[in-house]
Every structure is written in structure tokens, then in C-alpha cells.
Amino acid sequence: MRRLMAIAFMLMRVTNISASFVRQRPSRHVRKLETTLRMRSDDAPLQGKTCLVTGSSGGIGKGIAHRFAEAGADVIVHYHSRKSGAIKTFSEINDEPYEGRCIGIIRADFRDARQVKEMFRCVLDEILLGNRLDILVNNAGIVTKMAIEDDDESLSSWHETMAVNLHAPLQLMRLSHMHMKSTQVNGRKGGVIINNTSIHGSRSVEYMQAYAASKAALDSLTRGLACEYAEGGIRVNAIAPGVVPVERTEEAFADPNVVDMWTPHLPVGRLGKVDDIADATLMLATNEWMSGSIVTVDGGMTGRANMPFRPRPARQSAPEVNGSSEGSTVEFEVPLI
């Protein structure tokens, strides 16, 4: 009975184990306790970390926010136009029995570089209240289908695609680097940056050149900045998804003909799921020896080196970030939990 009481007492004081105690030759009960601690850490590998996921009002970004909160991180949701989606992401995360939670919502239009900078300031000062940001997930982006022609419309679409898909992530990486390398809380420094690129960064098809070029450049930045930022303890990786139906493409993929067009090009025999990408992104956030990696998650499609032909797109209006514009100011919200 006395031995059982001693073990129970150790379990109650688990967070107060000193380094000197752990370095001592462990008893059988201490070894069992250490195993329990490792299991808990594996269940919530991001416990105590903070994370900003851009473009997380829906789709892949929403899935990543859920997965990171489940792994113990406190998550900040960013959106451009889908405020209702951002609020839904916030509510869903905090309704789940996750180890982490959603601690704020922030809006910014990434076509405006000033808003990107102001958003990052608000994240640090108004949401994190001076605490450090540990993980940045550059997920926000726009898909532009256009022909490269000698007209103002195609040039404007090109610039907007680069602003959202390349310049905004670069600016956020630069700001995160300055913050992560210089901010130390409880002996913790450094951080993780994960970029959502695309299989189009290495393979392209007709009328997707602006999108493909922006993602290829982001792949290159990922590799280069992984080397430059390593000295500050910062790892930089990228996830390159294949065909993953999300809310904005739900109508298209409801057509069996569209599914039938893509499925033969996927060796695994099915389209991707948001969870497939979220799981791989979590792996990049937690594997401490991965940096400069571009992880392709596409069901084997690029391995087959065959992508379906796409017809010339009809003329379209200027691309939007996650939907229609709602103004041009940065807004942040920290709802009560």
C-alpha cells in the first residue's frame, strides 16, 4: 500500500520532475512513469505551442487548424472574405475535446502588402499579447486559370496571383523569422514555417501558368530559407497537395464525370481528403529533423507523370482570396471562450 501511494504521489507531481531527478538511474516505477509521459506527449505533440494558419475559414486550412488544435496547439484562424466560415472553424474547434483551442480570428486581404504586415502585428500584440508565435502555416492562396496573353487582364491576374500566393507568404516568413529567432519564452526559441504549395509547382498544365509559377517559386523559397533560417532554430518545409475537393470545388466534384476524369490518374484509386493533407502537415510540424522538404501528397499522381488535358478557360473576373471582397482593412477578433 505504501508503494502504491508513493507511485500515485509521483504521478501527481509529474510536471515538477527536475532534470537532475530524470538523469538518475531510474527505478522500475520511474521507467513506467517516463513511458506514460512519452505517450502523453505523443498524443499532444504541439502542447503549449501557438500557431497561425492563414486561409483557415474552410478547406485544407480549416482541416489543418483542427488537426493542430487536436495535437495541443492554440490556433489563430485567418480569413479574407468568409467570416462565417472563420467563426464556424473557431466554434467547432472549441466545441471539441481537443488539447488545444482556437484563441482568435483575424481578417486580412493578402493582395495588400500593408495588411499582411498589420495582420502579423495584430497577431503578436492583440491576440498573443506579447507571447511568442511558434508555428506559421502559409495556407491562403488563389487558383488562377488564365491564358498568358498580351492584354491588361491577364497581366492583372498574374500580379494578383503572385501577391497572394508568393509575396504574402514571403512577407509572413520574413516577419516570423525576425520574431521567432529573437523571442524566447521559458527557454523556447526558434519555430516552424510550413508552406502549402502544390503539385503544380513541379508539373503544370494548360492555362495554369500564373498559379504554377507562384507555387514553384514558393517551393524554391522553402528550400532556400530552410538553410538561411536554420541558425535561428527555425525549420521551413512545404506540403504539395494533389487533387483535394473542398467547399469551393464541391459543386464541380459532385459531377461523376469530373471524378472519373481524375481518378484514372491516381494510382491509389481515389481523390484526396482534407485529412490527408492535415496529417502530413502535422508531421512536418513535429518531425524535428525535417527542414527544406517539399512533401508531395497526391495519391501518386505525379509519379505517374500524366495529368489530364484542360480546355481553355472562359474569361473571368479578377481572382479573389477565399471568396468576394469585404473591404480592405485588417480586423481581429478574440471571442470569449
pLDDT tens digits for range 11-67: 333 323 222 222 233 344 444 444 444 444 568 999 999 999 999 999 999 999 999
Amino acid (1-letter code) at residue 276: D
Query: What is residue 291's three-state secondary structure?
Result: coil
211 is catalytic: yes
Higher-pLDDT residue of 77, 320? 77
pLDDT tens digits for range 89-142: 999 999 999 999 999 999 999 999 999 999 999 999 999 998 999 999 999 999
Largest Cα–Cα distance in the chain? 85
Beta bridge partners of 235: 192
Q: What is the mean pLDDT of residues 275-300?
A: 97
Choosing from 79, 98, 211, 229, the catalytic residue is 211
Tell me if 306 sits within 8 A of 265, measured CB to CB: yes
Q: Which three cell numbers stand for residue 138?
A: 502559409
* Domains of the chain and CATH, by start: 2-39 (no CATH), 49-333 (3.40.50.720)
Distance of CA 196 to the CA centre of its chain: 7
In the block, which residue shows the cell 487533387?
Answer: 243
Neighbours of 210 (CB within 10 A): 24
Is the pLDDT at 163 greater than 60, yes or no? yes
Is the pLDDT at 151 greater than 60, yes or no? yes
Cα separations in angstroms, 245 against 58, 117, 223, 232, 251: 11, 31, 27, 37, 9
Confidence of residue 3 (pLDDT cuts 50, 70, 90): very low
User: Can you give the pTM of this predicted structure?
Assistant: 0.80
Going through the chain in order, the beta strands assigned E by DSSP cover 50-53, 74-79, 102-107, 135-138, 191-196, 234-241, 294-297, 331-333
